Structure 1
Amino acid sequence: MSSFHLPELAKQYTQYDMIRLHTEVPAFPEARSRLLLAFLHESGNAGKSAESLTLAVSLVQMGIDIHEMVSMSNQVKEKKAVRSRQLKVLAGDYFSSGYYHLLSEAGEIGMVEHIAGSICEVNRLKMTLYARIRQLKLTAEEYLQQMAGIRAQLFARFDHLMKSGLGKAWQDILECFTRCELLADELDQLGNPERLRESWAFWRMREQGYGELLGQLESSADKQEQINALMQKCRIKEQLLQLLDEQVGHLYEKARRLDSDRLMQELLQIGDPFLRLVRQPPAAGGAMR
Protein backbone atom coordinates (compact mmCIF):
# COMPACT_ATOMS: atom_id res chain seq x y z
CA MET A 1 0.00 0.00 0.00
CA SER A 2 1.29 3.44 -0.90
CA SER A 3 2.09 5.84 1.91
CA PHE A 4 -0.44 8.24 0.34
CA HIS A 5 -3.17 6.00 1.72
CA LEU A 6 -2.13 6.50 5.34
CA PRO A 7 -3.90 9.85 5.80
CA GLU A 8 -7.09 8.17 4.60
CA LEU A 9 -6.61 5.27 7.01
CA ALA A 10 -6.06 7.73 9.85
CA LYS A 11 -9.51 9.23 9.29
CA GLN A 12 -11.22 6.22 10.85
CA TYR A 13 -9.53 7.28 14.12
CA THR A 14 -9.82 11.07 13.74
CA GLN A 15 -12.92 11.98 11.69
CA TYR A 16 -15.73 12.00 14.23
CA ASP A 17 -18.58 14.51 14.01
CA MET A 18 -18.30 15.48 17.67
CA ILE A 19 -14.61 16.32 17.25
CA ARG A 20 -15.00 18.15 13.94
CA LEU A 21 -18.00 20.11 15.23
CA HIS A 22 -16.10 21.62 18.14
CA THR A 23 -12.45 21.77 17.13
CA GLU A 24 -10.01 21.70 14.26
CA VAL A 25 -8.17 18.43 13.61
CA PRO A 26 -4.41 18.85 13.12
CA ALA A 27 -2.84 17.90 9.81
CA PHE A 28 -1.60 14.37 9.29
CA PRO A 29 2.25 14.40 9.47
CA GLU A 30 2.51 13.24 5.88
CA ALA A 31 6.16 14.06 5.14
CA ARG A 32 7.44 12.28 8.25
CA SER A 33 5.11 9.31 7.77
CA ARG A 34 6.07 8.87 4.11
CA LEU A 35 9.72 9.15 5.09
CA LEU A 36 9.46 6.52 7.82
CA LEU A 37 7.51 4.14 5.61
CA ALA A 38 10.08 4.48 2.81
CA PHE A 39 12.94 3.63 5.16
CA LEU A 40 11.05 0.71 6.71
CA HIS A 41 10.29 -0.70 3.25
CA GLU A 42 13.92 -0.31 2.22
CA SER A 43 14.93 -2.19 5.38
CA GLY A 44 12.70 -5.14 4.54
CA ASN A 45 9.82 -4.23 6.87
CA ALA A 46 7.23 -4.35 4.13
CA GLY A 47 3.49 -4.86 4.18
CA LYS A 48 1.01 -4.31 6.98
CA SER A 49 3.58 -4.26 9.79
CA ALA A 50 5.42 -1.22 8.37
CA GLU A 51 2.15 0.54 7.64
CA SER A 52 0.78 -0.16 11.12
CA LEU A 53 3.95 1.15 12.76
CA THR A 54 3.87 4.30 10.66
CA LEU A 55 0.17 4.92 11.15
CA ALA A 56 0.48 4.29 14.90
CA VAL A 57 3.24 6.84 15.45
CA SER A 58 1.45 9.34 13.16
CA LEU A 59 -1.70 9.12 15.28
CA VAL A 60 0.35 9.73 18.40
CA GLN A 61 1.86 12.78 16.70
CA MET A 62 -1.62 14.09 15.86
CA GLY A 63 -2.63 13.56 19.49
CA ILE A 64 0.33 15.63 20.65
CA ASP A 65 -0.40 18.30 18.02
CA ILE A 66 -4.04 18.75 19.02
CA HIS A 67 -3.02 19.05 22.67
CA GLU A 68 -0.76 21.91 21.53
CA MET A 69 -3.89 23.69 20.32
CA VAL A 70 -5.40 23.78 23.82
CA SER A 71 -5.52 27.29 25.28
CA MET A 72 -3.51 27.61 28.47
CA SER A 73 -5.70 30.46 29.72
CA ASN A 74 -8.13 29.76 32.55
CA GLN A 75 -10.08 32.89 31.64
CA VAL A 76 -12.10 31.12 28.94
CA LYS A 77 -15.75 31.21 30.06
CA GLU A 78 -17.76 31.21 26.83
CA LYS A 79 -19.52 27.85 26.43
CA LYS A 80 -18.39 27.16 22.87
CA ALA A 81 -14.75 27.89 23.68
CA VAL A 82 -14.87 25.71 26.79
CA ARG A 83 -16.35 22.82 24.80
CA SER A 84 -13.66 23.21 22.13
CA ARG A 85 -10.96 23.10 24.78
CA GLN A 86 -12.43 19.97 26.35
CA LEU A 87 -12.73 18.24 22.97
CA LYS A 88 -9.10 19.02 22.11
CA VAL A 89 -7.93 17.30 25.29
CA LEU A 90 -10.19 14.27 24.79
CA ALA A 91 -9.44 14.03 21.06
CA GLY A 92 -5.70 14.12 21.68
CA ASP A 93 -5.95 11.26 24.14
CA TYR A 94 -8.20 9.34 21.75
CA PHE A 95 -5.87 9.78 18.77
CA SER A 96 -2.92 8.61 20.83
CA SER A 97 -4.79 5.58 22.13
CA GLY A 98 -5.17 4.28 18.58
CA TYR A 99 -1.57 3.14 18.52
CA TYR A 100 -2.26 0.43 21.14
CA HIS A 101 -4.86 -1.14 18.87
CA LEU A 102 -2.75 -0.87 15.72
CA LEU A 103 0.39 -2.31 17.28
CA SER A 104 -1.39 -5.18 19.00
CA GLU A 105 -3.07 -6.14 15.71
CA ALA A 106 0.30 -6.08 13.95
CA GLY A 107 1.94 -8.16 16.68
CA GLU A 108 4.29 -5.29 17.58
CA ILE A 109 3.66 -5.31 21.32
CA GLY A 110 7.24 -4.33 22.11
CA MET A 111 6.79 -1.07 20.23
CA VAL A 112 4.09 0.09 22.67
CA GLU A 113 6.65 0.69 25.39
CA HIS A 114 9.06 2.13 22.84
CA ILE A 115 6.58 4.77 21.63
CA ALA A 116 5.48 5.51 25.20
CA GLY A 117 9.09 6.31 26.04
CA SER A 118 9.27 8.64 23.04
CA ILE A 119 6.12 10.45 24.21
CA CYS A 120 7.74 11.06 27.61
CA GLU A 121 10.84 12.44 25.89
CA VAL A 122 8.74 14.78 23.72
CA ASN A 123 7.05 16.16 26.84
CA ARG A 124 10.41 16.62 28.57
CA LEU A 125 11.84 18.49 25.56
CA LYS A 126 8.75 20.69 25.34
CA MET A 127 8.88 21.62 29.02
CA THR A 128 12.56 22.58 28.66
CA LEU A 129 11.83 24.69 25.59
CA TYR A 130 8.80 26.45 27.10
CA ALA A 131 10.78 27.32 30.20
CA ARG A 132 13.44 29.00 28.05
CA ILE A 133 10.75 30.79 26.03
CA ARG A 134 9.23 32.25 29.22
CA GLN A 135 12.68 33.33 30.38
CA LEU A 136 13.52 34.81 26.94
CA LYS A 137 16.69 32.71 26.88
CA LEU A 138 16.79 31.51 23.27
CA THR A 139 18.53 32.35 20.04
CA ALA A 140 16.73 31.92 16.72
CA GLU A 141 18.92 28.93 15.84
CA GLU A 142 18.33 27.31 19.24
CA TYR A 143 14.59 27.72 18.76
CA LEU A 144 14.75 26.11 15.33
CA GLN A 145 16.96 23.29 16.57
CA GLN A 146 14.82 22.46 19.60
CA MET A 147 11.50 22.69 17.74
CA ALA A 148 12.81 20.42 14.99
CA GLY A 149 14.08 17.98 17.62
CA ILE A 150 10.63 17.84 19.23
CA ARG A 151 8.98 17.18 15.86
CA ALA A 152 11.45 14.42 15.01
CA GLN A 153 11.49 12.67 18.38
CA LEU A 154 8.61 10.20 17.89
CA PHE A 155 9.94 9.11 14.51
CA ALA A 156 13.67 9.19 15.31
CA ARG A 157 13.67 6.16 17.58
CA PHE A 158 12.79 3.73 14.79
CA ASP A 159 16.45 3.49 13.77
CA HIS A 160 16.76 0.06 15.40
CA LEU A 161 14.38 -1.28 12.72
CA MET A 162 16.60 -0.03 9.89
CA LYS A 163 18.95 -2.39 8.12
CA SER A 164 22.70 -1.98 8.60
CA GLY A 165 23.95 1.33 7.26
CA LEU A 166 20.53 3.00 7.10
CA GLY A 167 20.17 3.92 10.78
CA LYS A 168 22.59 6.87 10.61
CA ALA A 169 21.18 8.03 7.27
CA TRP A 170 17.68 7.86 8.78
CA GLN A 171 18.62 10.19 11.63
CA ASP A 172 20.37 12.70 9.35
CA ILE A 173 17.63 12.79 6.72
CA LEU A 174 14.83 12.94 9.31
CA GLU A 175 16.54 15.97 10.87
CA CYS A 176 16.69 17.68 7.45
CA PHE A 177 13.05 16.89 6.74
CA THR A 178 11.79 18.17 10.09
CA ARG A 179 13.73 21.40 9.65
CA CYS A 180 12.25 21.84 6.18
CA GLU A 181 8.78 21.12 7.54
CA LEU A 182 9.22 23.57 10.41
CA LEU A 183 10.53 26.34 8.16
CA ALA A 184 7.62 25.79 5.75
CA ASP A 185 5.18 26.08 8.67
CA GLU A 186 6.94 29.23 9.87
CA LEU A 187 6.41 30.77 6.43
CA ASP A 188 2.76 29.71 6.44
CA GLN A 189 2.13 31.27 9.86
CA LEU A 190 4.24 34.35 9.26
CA GLY A 191 2.75 37.39 10.97
CA ASN A 192 0.22 35.45 13.05
CA PRO A 193 0.04 37.55 16.25
CA GLU A 194 -1.25 34.60 18.29
CA ARG A 195 1.98 32.70 17.60
CA LEU A 196 4.41 35.61 17.80
CA ARG A 197 6.56 34.36 20.67
CA GLU A 198 6.36 30.77 19.46
CA SER A 199 7.96 31.56 16.12
CA TRP A 200 11.43 31.74 14.66
CA ALA A 201 10.65 35.29 13.54
CA PHE A 202 10.26 36.48 17.14
CA TRP A 203 13.69 35.25 18.20
CA ARG A 204 15.37 36.47 15.04
CA MET A 205 13.95 39.99 15.46
CA ARG A 206 15.12 40.02 19.05
CA GLU A 207 18.63 39.23 17.79
CA GLN A 208 18.30 42.17 15.40
CA GLY A 209 17.71 44.53 18.31
CA TYR A 210 13.90 44.74 18.47
CA GLY A 211 13.30 42.94 21.77
CA GLU A 212 11.79 45.95 23.56
CA LEU A 213 9.50 46.78 20.64
CA LEU A 214 8.32 43.18 20.41
CA GLY A 215 7.40 43.27 24.09
CA GLN A 216 5.24 46.34 23.43
CA LEU A 217 3.62 44.79 20.35
CA GLU A 218 2.48 41.69 22.24
CA SER A 219 0.05 43.86 24.24
CA SER A 220 -0.83 46.27 21.44
CA ALA A 221 -4.41 46.50 20.18
CA ASP A 222 -3.37 46.88 16.52
CA LYS A 223 -0.38 44.53 16.73
CA GLN A 224 -1.12 42.69 13.46
CA GLU A 225 -0.22 45.63 11.21
CA GLN A 226 2.78 46.61 13.32
CA ILE A 227 4.14 43.06 13.45
CA ASN A 228 3.87 42.76 9.67
CA ALA A 229 5.68 46.07 9.21
CA LEU A 230 8.50 45.01 11.53
CA MET A 231 8.86 41.64 9.79
CA GLN A 232 9.11 43.36 6.43
CA LYS A 233 11.73 45.75 7.82
CA CYS A 234 13.76 42.80 9.16
CA ARG A 235 13.26 40.82 5.92
CA ILE A 236 12.04 37.83 7.91
CA LYS A 237 10.36 36.09 4.97
CA GLU A 238 13.50 36.38 2.86
CA GLN A 239 15.60 34.95 5.69
CA LEU A 240 13.21 32.03 6.17
CA LEU A 241 13.27 31.25 2.45
CA GLN A 242 17.06 31.34 2.47
CA LEU A 243 17.18 28.94 5.44
CA LEU A 244 14.70 26.64 3.71
CA ASP A 245 16.71 26.77 0.49
CA GLU A 246 19.86 25.77 2.37
CA GLN A 247 18.06 22.97 4.19
CA VAL A 248 16.56 21.59 0.98
CA GLY A 249 20.07 21.57 -0.47
CA HIS A 250 21.34 19.54 2.50
CA LEU A 251 18.40 17.17 2.16
CA TYR A 252 18.97 16.49 -1.54
CA GLU A 253 22.70 16.06 -0.97
CA LYS A 254 22.11 13.43 1.73
CA ALA A 255 19.46 11.67 -0.36
CA ARG A 256 21.84 11.33 -3.31
CA ARG A 257 24.44 9.67 -1.09
CA LEU A 258 22.13 6.72 -0.43
CA ASP A 259 23.01 3.38 -2.02
CA SER A 260 19.41 2.74 -3.03
CA ASP A 261 18.16 4.59 -6.12
CA ARG A 262 14.59 3.63 -5.20
CA LEU A 263 14.85 5.19 -1.74
CA MET A 264 16.64 8.24 -3.12
CA GLN A 265 13.88 8.88 -5.67
CA GLU A 266 11.18 8.47 -3.01
CA LEU A 267 12.91 11.00 -0.72
CA LEU A 268 13.34 13.50 -3.53
CA GLN A 269 9.64 13.19 -4.29
CA ILE A 270 8.69 13.74 -0.63
CA GLY A 271 10.92 16.81 -0.52
CA ASP A 272 9.55 18.30 -3.74
CA PRO A 273 6.92 20.55 -2.01
CA PHE A 274 9.73 22.24 -0.05
CA LEU A 275 11.72 22.80 -3.24
CA ARG A 276 8.66 24.30 -4.98
CA LEU A 277 8.09 26.61 -2.01
CA VAL A 278 11.63 27.96 -2.31
CA ARG A 279 11.31 28.44 -6.06
CA GLN A 280 7.89 30.08 -6.08
CA PRO A 281 7.83 33.61 -7.53
CA PRO A 282 7.66 36.46 -4.96
CA ALA A 283 4.21 37.83 -4.10
CA ALA A 284 3.18 40.98 -5.91
CA GLY A 285 4.40 44.06 -4.10
CA GLY A 286 6.33 41.91 -1.62
CA ALA A 287 3.22 41.36 0.50
CA MET A 288 3.38 38.85 3.31
CA ARG A 289 1.29 35.72 3.36
Structure 2
Amino acid sequence: MNRYRIPEIAEKYMKYDMIQSFTELPPLSEPRLRILHAALNGQLTTAKHSELFTLVTSLVQVGLDTHDLIDTDGQRRSEREMRSRQLNVLAGDYFSSRFYQLLAQAGQIEMIARISGAVSEVNRLKVTLYTKMRSLKVTAEDYYSQAVRIKSGLFHHFADLLEGSVSRLWPELLNKLSSCEVALDEMRRTESWERFRSSWGYWYIIQVGTDEERYKLTSASMENRYLQGLVEKYGIHSQLLQLLKQSGQEVKTIVNRMESERLVDEMSRIVDHMLNTLGDHVPALNETR
Protein backbone atom coordinates (compact mmCIF):
# COMPACT_ATOMS: atom_id res chain seq x y z
CA MET A 1 0.00 0.00 0.00
CA ASN A 2 1.64 3.25 -1.13
CA ARG A 3 1.20 6.27 1.10
CA TYR A 4 -0.14 9.35 -0.69
CA ARG A 5 2.79 11.75 -1.07
CA ILE A 6 2.17 13.41 -4.43
CA PRO A 7 2.54 17.03 -3.18
CA GLU A 8 6.01 16.30 -1.75
CA ILE A 9 7.18 14.56 -4.93
CA ALA A 10 5.66 17.12 -7.29
CA GLU A 11 7.28 19.98 -5.41
CA LYS A 12 10.76 19.16 -6.70
CA TYR A 13 9.45 19.58 -10.26
CA MET A 14 7.58 22.80 -9.48
CA LYS A 15 9.79 24.73 -7.05
CA TYR A 16 12.03 27.08 -9.01
CA ASP A 17 13.27 30.47 -7.82
CA MET A 18 12.60 32.20 -11.15
CA ILE A 19 8.98 31.01 -11.24
CA GLN A 20 8.34 31.85 -7.58
CA SER A 21 9.84 35.35 -8.03
CA PHE A 22 7.63 36.41 -10.93
CA THR A 23 4.46 34.36 -10.85
CA GLU A 24 2.26 32.19 -8.64
CA LEU A 25 1.49 28.64 -9.67
CA PRO A 26 -2.01 27.20 -9.33
CA PRO A 27 -2.44 24.66 -6.51
CA LEU A 28 -2.57 20.93 -7.05
CA SER A 29 -6.04 19.42 -7.28
CA GLU A 30 -5.85 17.46 -4.04
CA PRO A 31 -9.37 15.89 -4.12
CA ARG A 32 -9.08 14.54 -7.66
CA LEU A 33 -5.49 13.40 -7.17
CA ARG A 34 -6.23 11.68 -3.86
CA ILE A 35 -9.21 9.85 -5.32
CA LEU A 36 -7.15 8.78 -8.35
CA HIS A 37 -4.30 7.53 -6.20
CA ALA A 38 -6.69 5.63 -3.93
CA ALA A 39 -8.45 3.98 -6.88
CA LEU A 40 -5.21 2.93 -8.61
CA ASN A 41 -3.59 1.88 -5.36
CA GLY A 42 -6.60 -0.25 -4.42
CA GLN A 43 -6.14 -2.92 -7.09
CA LEU A 44 -3.25 -5.27 -7.84
CA THR A 45 -3.03 -4.47 -11.56
CA THR A 46 -2.29 -0.76 -11.07
CA ALA A 47 -0.97 -0.44 -7.50
CA LYS A 48 2.70 -0.47 -8.50
CA HIS A 49 2.12 2.45 -10.88
CA SER A 50 -0.33 4.41 -8.71
CA GLU A 51 2.24 6.96 -7.59
CA LEU A 52 3.78 7.49 -11.03
CA PHE A 53 0.44 7.84 -12.81
CA THR A 54 -0.91 10.24 -10.19
CA LEU A 55 2.30 12.28 -10.22
CA VAL A 56 2.38 12.78 -13.99
CA THR A 57 -1.32 13.63 -13.96
CA SER A 58 -0.66 16.28 -11.31
CA LEU A 59 2.11 17.83 -13.42
CA VAL A 60 0.01 17.88 -16.59
CA GLN A 61 -2.91 19.43 -14.68
CA VAL A 62 -0.66 22.14 -13.24
CA GLY A 63 0.67 22.79 -16.73
CA LEU A 64 -2.84 23.24 -18.12
CA ASP A 65 -3.91 25.39 -15.17
CA THR A 66 -0.77 27.54 -15.51
CA HIS A 67 -1.54 28.23 -19.16
CA ASP A 68 -5.02 29.35 -18.06
CA LEU A 69 -3.37 32.13 -16.02
CA ILE A 70 -2.04 33.77 -19.19
CA ASP A 71 -3.85 37.05 -19.76
CA THR A 72 -4.66 37.53 -23.45
CA ASP A 73 -5.53 41.22 -23.02
CA GLY A 74 -3.47 43.28 -25.46
CA GLN A 75 -2.92 46.31 -23.20
CA ARG A 76 0.58 47.57 -22.39
CA ARG A 77 2.22 45.97 -19.36
CA SER A 78 5.09 46.60 -17.02
CA GLU A 79 8.30 44.63 -17.41
CA ARG A 80 7.43 42.52 -14.36
CA GLU A 81 3.96 41.74 -15.75
CA MET A 82 5.49 40.72 -19.07
CA ARG A 83 8.01 38.50 -17.29
CA SER A 84 5.20 36.84 -15.34
CA ARG A 85 3.26 36.25 -18.54
CA GLN A 86 6.28 34.73 -20.27
CA LEU A 87 6.99 32.47 -17.30
CA ASN A 88 3.40 31.25 -17.24
CA VAL A 89 3.83 30.13 -20.85
CA LEU A 90 7.19 28.48 -20.24
CA ALA A 91 6.23 26.93 -16.90
CA GLY A 92 3.05 25.46 -18.34
CA ASP A 93 5.01 23.93 -21.23
CA TYR A 94 7.66 22.63 -18.84
CA PHE A 95 5.22 20.90 -16.48
CA SER A 96 3.31 19.42 -19.39
CA SER A 97 6.51 18.03 -20.91
CA ARG A 98 7.83 16.37 -17.75
CA PHE A 99 5.17 13.68 -17.92
CA TYR A 100 6.63 12.52 -21.24
CA GLN A 101 10.04 12.10 -19.64
CA LEU A 102 8.80 10.34 -16.51
CA LEU A 103 6.55 7.92 -18.37
CA ALA A 104 9.12 7.23 -21.09
CA GLN A 105 11.74 6.40 -18.48
CA ALA A 106 9.27 3.94 -16.93
CA GLY A 107 8.45 2.40 -20.33
CA GLN A 108 4.81 3.54 -20.07
CA ILE A 109 4.37 4.55 -23.71
CA GLU A 110 0.67 3.67 -23.78
CA MET A 111 0.02 6.03 -20.85
CA ILE A 112 1.75 8.84 -22.76
CA ALA A 113 -0.78 8.35 -25.57
CA ARG A 114 -3.69 8.21 -23.09
CA ILE A 115 -2.73 11.44 -21.34
CA SER A 116 -1.89 13.23 -24.60
CA GLY A 117 -5.34 12.35 -25.91
CA ALA A 118 -6.95 13.62 -22.71
CA VAL A 119 -5.02 16.90 -22.96
CA SER A 120 -6.23 17.37 -26.55
CA GLU A 121 -9.82 16.82 -25.45
CA VAL A 122 -9.52 19.27 -22.55
CA ASN A 123 -8.06 21.92 -24.86
CA ARG A 124 -10.89 21.31 -27.36
CA LEU A 125 -13.46 21.84 -24.61
CA LYS A 126 -11.72 25.05 -23.55
CA VAL A 127 -11.67 26.45 -27.08
CA THR A 128 -15.36 25.63 -27.52
CA LEU A 129 -16.24 27.36 -24.24
CA TYR A 130 -14.06 30.41 -24.90
CA THR A 131 -15.56 30.82 -28.37
CA LYS A 132 -19.08 30.84 -26.91
CA MET A 133 -18.06 33.28 -24.19
CA ARG A 134 -16.48 35.72 -26.65
CA SER A 135 -19.74 35.86 -28.58
CA LEU A 136 -21.80 36.02 -25.34
CA LYS A 137 -23.59 32.80 -26.34
CA VAL A 138 -23.23 30.88 -23.10
CA THR A 139 -25.63 30.50 -20.18
CA ALA A 140 -24.62 30.05 -16.55
CA GLU A 141 -25.73 26.41 -16.74
CA ASP A 142 -23.71 25.80 -19.92
CA TYR A 143 -20.66 27.41 -18.33
CA TYR A 144 -20.89 25.30 -15.17
CA SER A 145 -21.33 21.99 -16.99
CA GLN A 146 -18.43 22.77 -19.32
CA ALA A 147 -16.25 23.83 -16.38
CA VAL A 148 -16.91 20.46 -14.74
CA ARG A 149 -16.04 18.61 -17.95
CA ILE A 150 -12.82 20.59 -18.32
CA LYS A 151 -11.78 20.04 -14.71
CA SER A 152 -12.46 16.29 -14.85
CA GLY A 153 -11.25 15.71 -18.41
CA LEU A 154 -7.70 14.69 -17.59
CA PHE A 155 -8.87 11.94 -15.22
CA HIS A 156 -11.64 10.20 -17.16
CA HIS A 157 -9.39 7.91 -19.20
CA PHE A 158 -8.33 6.04 -16.05
CA ALA A 159 -11.72 4.28 -15.99
CA ASP A 160 -10.35 1.75 -18.48
CA LEU A 161 -7.58 0.79 -16.03
CA LEU A 162 -9.91 0.30 -13.08
CA GLU A 163 -11.99 -2.75 -12.27
CA GLY A 164 -15.47 -3.68 -11.06
CA SER A 165 -17.67 -1.10 -9.40
CA VAL A 166 -14.83 1.44 -9.26
CA SER A 167 -14.56 1.40 -13.05
CA ARG A 168 -18.34 1.65 -13.52
CA LEU A 169 -18.74 4.48 -11.01
CA TRP A 170 -15.57 6.38 -11.92
CA PRO A 171 -17.07 8.83 -14.49
CA GLU A 172 -19.97 9.74 -12.20
CA LEU A 173 -17.72 10.03 -9.14
CA LEU A 174 -15.24 12.20 -11.00
CA ASN A 175 -17.92 14.54 -12.35
CA LYS A 176 -19.51 15.12 -8.94
CA LEU A 177 -16.14 15.59 -7.28
CA SER A 178 -15.15 18.09 -9.97
CA SER A 179 -18.47 19.86 -9.44
CA CYS A 180 -17.50 20.42 -5.80
CA GLU A 181 -14.22 21.98 -6.88
CA VAL A 182 -15.87 24.14 -9.54
CA ALA A 183 -18.39 25.47 -7.02
CA LEU A 184 -15.64 26.49 -4.61
CA ASP A 185 -13.52 28.01 -7.40
CA GLU A 186 -16.48 30.07 -8.55
CA MET A 187 -17.15 31.32 -5.01
CA ARG A 188 -13.56 32.50 -4.75
CA ARG A 189 -13.84 34.32 -8.06
CA THR A 190 -16.36 36.75 -6.59
CA GLU A 191 -13.62 38.38 -4.51
CA SER A 192 -12.37 40.72 -7.26
CA TRP A 193 -13.53 42.09 -10.59
CA GLU A 194 -10.49 40.69 -12.41
CA ARG A 195 -11.39 37.14 -11.38
CA PHE A 196 -15.17 37.60 -11.56
CA ARG A 197 -15.19 38.34 -15.27
CA SER A 198 -16.37 35.29 -17.25
CA SER A 199 -17.13 33.36 -14.04
CA TRP A 200 -20.36 31.49 -13.31
CA GLY A 201 -21.69 34.49 -11.37
CA TYR A 202 -20.86 36.78 -14.29
CA TRP A 203 -22.85 34.66 -16.76
CA TYR A 204 -25.72 34.23 -14.32
CA ILE A 205 -26.12 38.01 -13.94
CA ILE A 206 -25.74 38.50 -17.71
CA GLN A 207 -28.62 36.05 -18.03
CA VAL A 208 -31.03 37.44 -15.40
CA GLY A 209 -29.78 40.97 -14.65
CA THR A 210 -31.10 44.33 -15.82
CA ASP A 211 -29.90 46.06 -18.98
CA GLU A 212 -27.85 48.48 -16.88
CA GLU A 213 -26.20 45.65 -14.94
CA ARG A 214 -25.38 43.75 -18.12
CA TYR A 215 -23.88 46.90 -19.61
CA LYS A 216 -21.68 47.45 -16.55
CA LEU A 217 -20.57 43.80 -16.55
CA THR A 218 -19.36 44.06 -20.14
CA SER A 219 -17.39 47.25 -19.45
CA ALA A 220 -13.63 47.34 -18.94
CA SER A 221 -13.72 47.66 -15.15
CA MET A 222 -16.05 47.74 -12.16
CA GLU A 223 -15.75 48.98 -8.60
CA ASN A 224 -15.53 46.13 -6.11
CA ARG A 225 -18.31 47.65 -4.00
CA TYR A 226 -20.73 47.57 -6.95
CA LEU A 227 -19.67 44.01 -7.77
CA GLN A 228 -20.30 42.80 -4.23
CA GLY A 229 -23.73 44.44 -4.35
CA LEU A 230 -24.57 42.37 -7.45
CA VAL A 231 -23.19 39.20 -5.85
CA GLU A 232 -25.41 39.75 -2.82
CA LYS A 233 -28.48 40.81 -4.83
CA TYR A 234 -28.48 37.67 -6.95
CA GLY A 235 -27.44 35.27 -4.18
CA ILE A 236 -24.36 34.06 -6.03
CA HIS A 237 -22.71 32.63 -2.92
CA SER A 238 -25.81 30.85 -1.66
CA GLN A 239 -26.49 29.26 -5.05
CA LEU A 240 -22.92 28.02 -5.37
CA LEU A 241 -22.93 26.79 -1.79
CA GLN A 242 -26.05 24.77 -2.54
CA LEU A 243 -24.35 23.25 -5.60
CA LEU A 244 -21.33 22.43 -3.44
CA LYS A 245 -23.38 20.70 -0.74
CA GLN A 246 -25.49 18.79 -3.25
CA SER A 247 -22.47 17.56 -5.22
CA GLY A 248 -20.65 16.64 -2.02
CA GLN A 249 -23.54 14.51 -0.84
CA GLU A 250 -23.78 12.82 -4.23
CA VAL A 251 -20.06 12.00 -4.10
CA LYS A 252 -20.53 10.27 -0.75
CA THR A 253 -23.51 8.32 -2.10
CA ILE A 254 -21.48 7.12 -5.10
CA VAL A 255 -18.53 6.09 -2.92
CA ASN A 256 -20.83 4.00 -0.70
CA ARG A 257 -21.91 1.99 -3.75
CA MET A 258 -18.40 0.59 -4.28
CA GLU A 259 -17.76 -3.08 -3.55
CA SER A 260 -14.48 -2.79 -1.63
CA GLU A 261 -15.03 -1.81 2.00
CA ARG A 262 -11.44 -0.70 2.33
CA LEU A 263 -11.76 1.57 -0.70
CA VAL A 264 -15.10 2.91 0.53
CA ASP A 265 -13.51 3.80 3.89
CA GLU A 266 -10.49 5.42 2.28
CA MET A 267 -12.45 7.42 -0.28
CA SER A 268 -15.00 8.46 2.35
CA ARG A 269 -12.18 9.92 4.42
CA ILE A 270 -10.89 11.80 1.38
CA VAL A 271 -14.36 13.21 0.60
CA ASP A 272 -15.02 14.15 4.25
CA HIS A 273 -11.67 15.92 4.41
CA MET A 274 -12.43 17.76 1.17
CA LEU A 275 -15.85 18.94 2.34
CA ASN A 276 -14.49 19.99 5.74
CA THR A 277 -11.69 21.89 4.05
CA LEU A 278 -14.07 23.55 1.61
CA GLY A 279 -16.41 24.45 4.45
CA ASP A 280 -13.62 26.37 6.13
CA HIS A 281 -13.69 28.85 3.25
CA VAL A 282 -17.44 29.45 3.13
CA PRO A 283 -17.89 31.92 6.03
CA ALA A 284 -15.17 34.21 4.70
CA LEU A 285 -16.66 34.14 1.23
CA ASN A 286 -20.09 35.03 2.56
CA GLU A 287 -18.95 38.06 4.51
CA THR A 288 -20.38 41.38 3.41
CA ARG A 289 -17.64 43.48 1.86
Same fold (TM over 0.5): yes
When the two chains are superposed, the root-mean-square deviation of aligned CA atoms in Å is 2.2
Shift of 1:209: 2.9
Give the equivalent residue in structure 2 for 1:95: 95
Q: Tell me the matched-pair count.
A: 288
User: 1:82 is paired with a residue of what secondary structure?
Assistant: helix
Give the equivalent residue in structure 1 for 2:260: 260
Give the equivalent residue in structure 2 for 1:2: 3
One-letter code aligned to 1:166: V
Give the equivalent residue in structure 2 for 1:176: 176
Shift of 1:63: 0.3
Comparing 188-197 with 169-178, greater Cα deviation is found at 188-197
Comparing 75-84 with 27-36, greater Cα deviation is found at 75-84
Shift of 1:221: 5.2
Q: Deviations over 1:47-100 (max 9, x none)?
A: 551110111011001001001111102323321111111111001011111101
Give the equivalent residue in structure 1 for 2:230: 230
Q: Deviations over 1:201-239 (max 9, x none)?
A: 112223333464133144365521101001101111111
Shift of 1:283: 4.2
Shift of 1:43: 2.8
Label 1:138 to 1:15 Cα distance change in 2 as closer, same or farther (>3 A).
same
One-letter code aligned to 1:136: L
1:57 aligns with 2:96: no
Structure 2: give runs of 5+ residues left out of the alignment: none
One-letter code aligned to 1:30: E
Report the identity percentage: 38
Give the equivalent residue in structure 1 for 2:141: 141
Give the equivalent residue in structure 1 for 2:123: 123
Partner Cα distance (1:258, 1:183) in 2: 25
Shift of 1:259: 1.1
Label 1:244 to 1:207 Cα distance change in 2 as closer, same or farther (>3 A).
same
User: 1:75 is paired with a residue of what secondary structure?
Assistant: coil
Partner Cα distance (2:202, 2:222) in 1: 17
Partner Cα distance (2:70, 2:125) in 1: 18
Q: Is the 8 A contact 1:245 1:278 kept in 2?
A: no
Structure 1: give runs of 5+ residues left out of the alignment: none
1:200 aligns with 2:200: yes
One-letter code aligned to 1:2: R
Q: Is the 8 A contact 1:186 1:200 kept in 2?
A: yes
Q: Is the 8 A contact 2:193 2:222 kept in 1?
A: no
Shift of 1:137: 1.6
TM-score by length of 1: 0.92
